[in-house]
Amino acid sequence: MDSFIDTGNVAEPIHLNGAVQEAVRELLAKLGEDPTREGLRRTPERVARMYEELTAGYHIDPGALINEAIFNIEYDEMVVVKDIDFYSLCEHHMLPFFGRVHVAYIPCGKVIGLSKIPRIVEMFARRFQVQERMTVQIADFINDTLQPHGVAVVVEGKHMCAMMRGVKKDNAKMVTSAVRGIFKSDHRSRDEFMGLLQHTTLDQ
């Protein structure tokens, strides 16, 4: 498992697979389990692989992700990509939170390939996060990459740390938003975006 240390401009990989396995093995023992019994024998290995997948966002090179999929097109109306499923990890309890992301931008001479917006969401979701920060990171990345007239991001999330522990509220949903450019200054653009989110989708 490769992880990265942020040293400013350079991400330096460090190999953590063995260390993660040993930490899981120790945690099981501290909780009163026998990590050598049949059902748990390979659990540390599985957990290490799982965290490698769930924290893959730390490893993504943003330039390679975009891969020149930005196109010069004279289109200045709203582009909306909605209902992007995501899974992330709460950085406070290391439990999952999950839901959907809705993204809109108004191009200023440049558009991005459709598949790249879900990949941008994945890049920021697949790591230890809080929903508020993830929302802002998605909006800022798209804004910095495309320099559009405006960007709007809405995230709807359900948090296991509030569902299976603590307040134990299964139906509580957190909604966060981040707006940039014209979406911040013009309520009509915001209203149009929110209206489009209410439209039924192709599979409904």
- Catalytic residue of the set 131, 137, 149, 192: 131
Q: Is 90 a catalytic residue?
A: yes
Q: Are 168 and 127 in contact (CB under 8 A)?
A: no
Among residues 153, 193, 151, which one has the least CA distance to residue 177? 153
| Cα gap 197→204, rounded to integer Å | 13
Q: Is 15 exposed, middle or buried (CB count within 10 Å of its CB: 0-12, 13-18, 19+)? A: exposed
- Catalytic residue of the set 90, 102, 122, 149: 90
Q: Is 92 a catalytic residue?
A: yes
- Catalytic residue of the set 22, 53, 91, 132: 91
- Catalytic residue of the set 22, 26, 92, 132: 92
- Catalytic residue of the set 21, 122, 137, 159: 159
Q: Is 159 a catalytic residue?
A: yes
- Catalytic residue of the set 52, 59, 156, 161: 161
The amino acid sitting at 21 is: Q
Q: Is 21 a catalytic residue?
A: no
Concatenated DSSP letters of 161-191: HHHSSTT--TT--EEEEEEEEHHHH-HHHHH
Q: In whole angstroms, how far apart are CA 90 and each of 62, 84, 99, 123?
A: 22, 19, 13, 15
Q: Is 108 a catalytic residue?
A: no
Q: Is 161 a catalytic residue?
A: yes
Catalytically annotated residues: 90-93, 131, 159, 161
